[in-house]
Amino acid sequence: MRLLALAAVACTLHAQRIAVSQHMLSNGMKLLIHQDRDVPNVAFYLFFKVGSRNERPGITGLSHFFEHMMFNGAKKFGPKQFDIVMEKNGGSNNAYTSRDITAYTDWFPKAATELMFDMEADRIRDLAIDPKMVESERGVVYSERRTSVDNNNEGLLREQLDAAAFAAHPYGFPVIGWPSDIESWTMDDLKAHFRMGYAPNNCVAVVAGDVTEAEILRLAKKYLEPVPRQSPPPPVRTKEPPQLGERRVTLSKPAQSPYLMVSYHVPESRHADRAPLRILDAILSAGRSSRLYRRLVDRDQLALDIGVDLEDAIDPGQFVINIQVRPGVDPAAAEKALYEELAKAAAGVSAEELGKARNQQVAALYRGMKTIAGKANLLGRAEVYYGDWRKISSFADDLDKVTQADVKRVAAAYFKPANRTVAALIPSKEAE
């Protein structure tokens, strides 16, 4: 088994230097190492390129369920041991699942570094899928669903929005899964999904913190490299066909505030239009001076808050505008004002707005780099979504290249009625 060192490079991001060494283990796992000795701690992030995008009817939510099962025991470290051992060594962890990825996030004092490599390798190679733990964890995930969807108007509406926006592509599935699927995953489904998603060659590992490159390479060779290569998830063949007309979902339930979500299909993260779309996002929604905040919240007082969700996406994704409509206001009025503002954006933006949006985006990137955890997350996501961690340093340059004409063009191209899906929550009349 051979450890292949590809490169050790330092990148400059508008005078912000981030030194990363990049390695490819012989089993296909990509490893990024960034030293930062500001605090005596380490962030160890593992990104598996598996998410609800790789699911199908019957197994929706399985990637997210695995995010939970990965803490329920493997061969060397049995049930509960991952957390018990980690916490008594001063560490803590979390994990998240999205449409595209499942990420495991470990934070610990540097003395626990070898232990964490041992525990991570154990569960990636030899996860034990204990039927008893599966049943108990099913209840946990159902409770999570009840809290984030069933008893959360925003979560509920977003689920309906996505299901309507995607007719063919799996981005229409909720990451947490449809209730009937949560209730009926089988052991065979679980085993097959683990083999598919948790191949080392389907993973990017990032270590940031008080470490040396030599030490991490030694640990990676000892613990991670012996995990055998497997077949990664098959390509997702389905492409969402162009939307041919507006789609609309209306929910009615007891509530104080109406809620409105409007989604437009936009290209994937690697597409050249993403940089102007990020600028457009900031012009529309970042800060009190943004166009939508000023119009809908401040001037017309139609909304309590507005926001744009332009999520990273491996396949073509969405530009979603969220409007928390004020109690007693007709959501149709907020919707009308929104379309007027989107039409104005398609007519052009000013040079000042462009400069402001760049500054906001660059400052937000720096905020993400304040912690070792933030840097591990940024590096891993850049590698997964853009195929290259150096993207975090060219990010600012990409934004600098965006012109007013680019922003105008993407606004006109994507904010078309036929390309949109609207979901509205209307408070029902019966008193609570």
87-106: which residues touch another protein (CB under 8 A)? 87-93
How far apart are CB 296 and another protein at their closest, in Å?
12
Q: Say whether residue 27 binds another protein (CB under 8 A).
A: no
> Regarding beta strands 16-24 and 4-13, do their DSSP bridges make them parallel or antiparallel, or are they unpaired?
antiparallel
Q: Say whether residue 84 binds another protein (CB under 8 A).
A: yes
Q: What is the DSSP string of 269-314?
A: TTSTTHHHHHHHHHHHHSSTTSHHIIIIIIIS--EEEEEEE----S
| Inter-residue contact 202 to 49 (CB < 8 Å) | yes
Range 158-197, binding another protein (CB under 8 A): none
Question: Contact letters (x/-) for another protein, 413-432, by CB under 8 A?
Answer: ------------------xx
Per the structure block, which two tokens stand in for 4? 């292949």
Range 264-323, binding another protein (CB under 8 A): 286-290, 294, 297-298, 301, 304
How far apart are CB 325 and another protein at their closest, in Å?
9
Q: How far is CA 317 from CA 55, 210, 217, 311, 422, in A?
A: 16, 37, 36, 7, 15
How far apart are CB 216 and another protein at their closest, in Å?
16
Which residue of 11, 111, 129, 413 would you call a contact of another protein, by CB under 8 A? 111
Count of chain residues binding another protein (CB under 8 A): 83
How far apart are CB 88 and another protein at their closest, in Å?
4
State which residue, 160 or 361, has the beta carbon closest to another protein: 361
Q: Say whether residue 144 binds another protein (CB under 8 A).
A: yes
Nearest-angstrom CA–CA distance, 373 and 199: 24
Q: Say whether residue 228 binds another protein (CB under 8 A).
A: no
Q: Say whether residue 397 binds another protein (CB under 8 A).
A: no
How far apart are CB 95 and another protein at their closest, in Å?
11
Q: Say whether residue 350 binds another protein (CB under 8 A).
A: no
Residue 231 CB-density burial (10 A; 0-12 exposed, 13-18 middle, 19+ buried): exposed
Q: Say whether residue 218 binds another protein (CB under 8 A).
A: no
Stretch that binds another protein, among 214-222, 247-255, 384-392, 398-406 (CB under 8 A): 247-255
How far apart are CB 287 and another protein at their closest, in Å?
4
What is the layout of strands, in order, in the sheet containing 203-209?
4-13, 16-24, 30-35, 203-209, 41-48, 102-109, 92-97
Nearest-angstrom CA–CA distance, 278 and 398: 10
State which residue, 84 or 332, has the beta carbon closest to another protein: 84
How far apart are CB 41 and another protein at their closest, in Å?
5
Q: Among residues 362, 383, 392, 62, which one has the least CA distance to residue 202?
A: 383
Beta bridge partners of 414: none
> Regarding beta strands 317-325 and 102-109, do their DSSP bridges make them parallel or antiparallel, or are they unpaired?
unpaired
How far apart are CB 235 and another protein at their closest, in Å?
33
How far apart are CB 157 and another protein at their closest, in Å?
11
Question: Contact letters (x/-) for another protein, 5-24, by CB under 8 A?
Answer: ----------xx--------
State which residue, 326 or 391, has the beta carbon closest to another protein: 326
Stretch that binds another protein, among 57-65, 233-241, 341-349, 362-370 (CB under 8 A): 362-370
Residues 6+ apart with CB under 8 A from 88: none
> Regarding beta strands 30-35 and 203-209, do their DSSP bridges make them parallel or antiparallel, or are they unpaired?
parallel
| Inter-residue contact 307 to 428 (CB < 8 Å) | no
Nearest-angstrom CA–CA distance, 379 and 4: 19
State which residue, 283 or 320, has the beta carbon closest to another protein: 283
Q: Report residue 283 CA to chain centroid gap.
A: 22
